[in-house]
Amino acid sequence: MNELLKTENVSYGYNGCPFFKGLGISVYEGELIGVIGENGSGKSTLIRLLTRPAEDGKIYYRSRLLSSMSRMERAREIAVIYQNEECSFPYTCFETVMMGLYPHGITKPDKRSLDFVKGVMELTDTLCFASKRINCLSGGERQKVLLARAFAQKPSLMLLDEAMSALDISARIKMTDIIYDKCRREGMTALLVMHDISLAFARCDRLLALKQGKVYAFDKPRALLDKKFFREMFNVEVEIDSDNKYFRIIM
Amino acid sequence: MDIDSALKKEKIKISLCTVLLLAILIAGMAASACMGAMDISTGDICRVIANKLFAAGFDIPGNVTAVVWNIRLPRILCAVFVGAGLAVAGVIFQGILQNPLADPYTLGISTGASFGASLAIILNILWGIYLPVPLCALVCALLTLASVISIASVSDGFKSSSLVIAGIIAGSVLSSGVSFIKMLAGENVSAVVFWIMGSLSAMGWSDVLMAAPVVIICTLLASVLALRLDIMALGEEAARSLGVNTAALRIVLLIIGSVMTAVCVCICGVIGFVGLIVPHLLRYMLTAKNRVLMPLSALFGAVLLLCADSAARILASGEIPVGVLTTLIGGPFFIFVFTRRERRGE
């Protein structure tokens, strides 16, 4: 597998206090990575770090310094959904999804882009409320629209910061499966910040576990499947019931 | 409703609205030109315009020509351009501040203009000099803009919240300055107060020539950036991730909106609510897309101020300052629209 994203000695701090120090991770094409950790462990900060040129250290995207890429180039490659994205204006869901095509120079819907956006909205179950205003939707519906916008961006890398937190369980599984499929079939790579541990262990290729701004573990879910990991990461006692094919985490 | 029919329906709605607003604007301009102490027919108005523009040679009395060409037409055109300018500036400010309740005056630009105008008026009275009031208002408005930008640029990425705070600081200081000038003015305070209230009386062709190019050029420039402004509504970080340079866009649009506001305010004083109501209503009635919203707001703003000014001329035996009328009517109307929308959960 080719390396898609690599951070080298990246450090970041708030108001002079260091938070991430010497962060070094590598992400490969086609991987679905779950970013897990307690509140305040640095998951959202990591997502932000990966979307902009590093102030301290180096971030490479396809062996190229992220800082050498133009804003538009980055937007064509990397789609991001931040935590709690809100829109104060009454754009329709269709208009919001269309904005995902902006990095590709498509500013008005023509037949081709219209069909593409329809397809993306159908995939994310948002076509049925395409003409509804985004500020009138429920939290879950809004998250689906934002996911559709991210898919419309046709990214090679998707960074989602709790972008499915308001979805019901079936929608959450469906969206994760869509992302999983895109990683498998189209070679897309995704980093998903998630609190749904079961889903993270069940679907992700690797899990990046963060604790107080440090990488606690970055490995395959199976390799992290032990009581000590849960105790040290989340301060919870679990029972793990597993065989070669299936596993169950009982909290 | 499927996307195709929704898009088609939206297109029809926008076209109808444009035609309707254009028709009202033309009819309103004609009616306003006929209206006044001297009874003048639409035909005579057309003849005066033809005489002036194409030397058509129609036989029109000199006093009719003077009233139409020197008094009514400049006033009507000023109402049209100032209304359009304030409405488009409203769209811009609401967009860059990501707040549908912002208006062209949120950042204290109008208070800067008021301060400049008040200072010029009072110095003219006290020292017997001739400082051009609109020019002083414009210079002070632009200086206010510069100070707002320099205060806000301290924050990382030139955030909208920093802009609002900088605007409030600048506005408060200048507002105290205006109060101080009013105190110094003593019995001449009415001149300052009347200017601040906003009026379109005594407009001349120089005012039209100042407003028209600025409003037209700024509207065109803003329209070019309309899609980026749409994307910025998704939020600062989301817009950046979609390739929009939010800091640069915000500063460019801030300058465009402020220049337009400053010119409008320095011509006719502070006219409230046009820049708030017009974009707000159109956004919820028709579309939030700035590419469509900007020209439509320009039309609607022009219609609204023209109608308000015509009403201000006929409602009282003297004349109500149009700024007072727009605020008097606009305020309650806005409360009605806002509470209705909130109740319907839009």
Write out the DSSP string of A104-132.
GT--S--HHHHHHHHHHHHHTT-GGGTTS
Helix axes B73-96, B274-285, angle to 10 degrees: 70
Alpha carbons B171 and B109: distance in angstroms, whole number: 7
Across the interface, of A74, A76, A85, the residue whose CB is closest to B238 is: A85
Retrieve residue A102's tokens. 């902006």
pLDDT at B157: 61
What are the chain B neighbours of A114 within 8 Å (beta carbons)? 3-4
Domain boundaries, chain A: 3-83+159-250
Q: Which of B6, B94, B243 lies nearest to residue A71, judging by beta carbons?
A: B243
Count up the domains in chain B and report the number.
1
Q: What are phi and psi for residue B221, nearest 5 degrees?
A: -60, -45
For residue B342, the chain A residue with the least C-alpha distance is A136
Taking residues A11-38, what's their average pLDDT? 86
Sheet holding A78-81, edge to edge: A78-81, A157-161, A189-193, A32-37, A206-211, A214-219
Predicted confidence band of residue A150 (pLDDT cuts 50, 70, 90): very high
Tell me the pairing of strands A56-61 and A3-14: antiparallel
Output the pLDDT for position A143: 95
pLDDT of residue B59: 87
Find residue A208's DSSP bridge partners: A35, A218
Task: Answer yes or no: is B97 within a domain.
Answer: yes
| A15 reaches B (C-beta below 8 A) | no
Best B237, B285, B291, B338 member to test A by mutation, with max A CBs in 10 Å, is B237
Q: Do B243 and A76 touch (CB under 8 A)?
A: yes
Closest in A76, A87, A130 to B3, CB measured: A130
Domain that holds residue B183: 3-26+77-343
Q: Do A103 and B283 touch (CB under 8 A)?
A: no
Contact A94 B3 (CB under 8 A): yes
- Is A91's CB within 8 Å of B99's CB? no
Q: How far apart are CA B345 and CA B88, in angstroms?
A: 26
pLDDT of A37 above 80: yes
B234 vs A51, A94, A99: nearest CB:
A99
B55: in domain? no
How far apart are the CA of A138 and the nearest CA of chain B, in angstroms?
Answer: 12
CA distance B8 to chain A (A): 12
Using an 8 Å Cβ cutoff, are A122 and A128 in contact? no
Is residue A241 within 8 A of residue A248, CB to CB? The reply is: yes
Measured between CB atoms, which of B3, B238, B283 is closest to A90? B283
Put simply, the answer to whether A89 touches B100 (Cβ < 8 Å) is yes
Residues in chain A with CB shorter than 8 Å from the CB of B284 are 90
Q: Do B289 and A118 touch (CB under 8 A)?
A: no
Q: Would you state the pLDDT for residue A250?
A: 81
pLDDT value for A192: 96
- Min Cα separation B213/chain A (Å): 28
State the nearest Cα–Cα gap between A218 and chain B, in angstroms. Answer: 26
Residues 65-94 of A with CB under 8 A from B: 71-72, 74-76, 78-82, 85-92, 94
pLDDT of residue A217: 92
Q: Are B45 and B34 in contact (CB under 8 A)?
A: yes
Please indicate whether residue A248 or residue A136 has the higher confidence score (pLDDT): A136
Interface test with A, best of B234, B290, B297, B343 (most A CBs within 10 A): B234
Residue B231, in any domain of the structure: yes
**What is the structure's pLDDT at B39?**
86
B42 located within any domain: no
Task: Note whether A97 and A152 are within 8 A (CB).
Answer: yes
In a domain, B127, yes or no: yes
Q: A3-83+159-250 adopts what CATH topology?
A: Rossmann fold (3.40.50)
A70-86: pLDDT as tens digits: 999 999 999 999 988 88
Min Cα–Cα distance to chain A from B107, Å? 19
Q: Which of A71, A107, A118 sits opposite B3 (nearest CB)?
A: A118
B8, closest residue in chain A (CA to CA):
A131
Contact A48 B245 (CB under 8 A): no
Chain B CB within 8 Å of residue A136 CB: yes
Chain A residues touching residue B4 (CB < 8 angstroms): 114
Please give chain B's pLDDT, 346 residues, in tens: 688 888 899 999 999 999 999 999 999 999 999 988 888 899 999 999 999 998 888 888 888 999 999 999 999 999 999 999 999 999 999 999 888 888 888 888 889 988 998 999 889 888 888 888 888 888 998 899 899 888 888 766 677 888 889 999 999 999 999 999 988 888 888 888 888 888 888 889 999 999 999 999 999 999 999 999 999 999 889 999 999 999 899 999 999 998 999 889 888 888 888 998 899 889 988 999 999 999 999 999 999 999 999 988 887 666 778 888 888 888 888 788 778 767 766 5
